A and B are shown apart, each in its own frame.
Chain A
Amino acid sequence: GQNIDQPTEMTATEGAIVQINCTYQTSGFNGLFWYQQHAGEAPTFLSYNVLDGLEEKGRFSSFLSRSKGYSYLLLKELQMKDSASYLCAVPSGNTGKLIFGQGTTLQVKP
């Protein structure tokens, strides 16, 4: 079956760097998504990693290691607006299902 683990909560300081980890177990890996969700709003897409390595998009980067079943989202130069939940998700095998982790709520403090 599928299983995704993320820390429930994290706290970081404005201007700092934070790494949000995600470990997964899935049959037939087909990539890993990261979404951001501000309180009371819909999730929005951040990244989709299929190959190993680091992909950078401005202040946000996402890393994938398929052999370790591990990904992380790296947020640099944290801003107050980065306070949100960060959701890790993986497609389930060759079905049309998408499995989400419980999400990591990040609080950025001044």
Chain B
Amino acid sequence: EAQVTQNPRYLITVTGKKLTVTCSQNMNHEYMSWYRQDPGLGLRQIYYSMNVEVTDKGDVPEGYKVSRKEKRNFPLILESPSPNQTSLYFCASSFSDLYNEQFFGPGTRLTVL
């Protein structure tokens, strides 16, 4: 089944404890992206990747890192999480670039205490 998977789906952590949210797609998509969704603010893009080893900042990249060593994986890293990073996170991918339909993962609900 063609899909985007994210892990974990739910995470409660404490300030400063490094964490990684994994994202994987099995559709051989080139474009991948991370978003956070907060009430009243909608979906905001954190980072995106046009292809392997090519990543760039979205609108809200502060406090996050990403890597794209393989085409299928695009992990989101929070080196030192803070409470303002409590949010719902979505990973998404599309076939060649952002001018195509994006397929979203199920979401990761993160709480930073």
Contacts and interface: CB of A to CB of B under 8 A. Distances in A.
Interface of A: 30-31, 33, 35, 41-45, 48, 87, 89, 91, 95-103
A97 B33 CA distance: 9
Given A33-B102, A41-B107, A95-B56, 4 more contacts: A31-B99, A48-B100, A91-B98, A100-B44
Interface residues of B, number: 26
Contacts of A101: 42
A33 B58 CA distance: 18
A44 B92 CA distance: 10
Most buried by A among B40, B45, B100: B45
Given A48-B99, A96-B98, A42 B42 contact: no
A97 B47 CA distance: 8
Contacts of A102: 40-42
B90 interface: yes
Contact of A97 (B48, B99, B101, B104): B48
A97 B106 contact: no
Interface of B: 31, 33, 35, 40-45, 48, 50, 56, 58-59, 90, 97-107
Contacts of A30: 99
A67 B106 CA distance: 36
A49 B33 CA distance: 21
A91 B42 contact: no
B99 A43 contact: no
A100 B58 contact: no
A43 B90 contact: yes
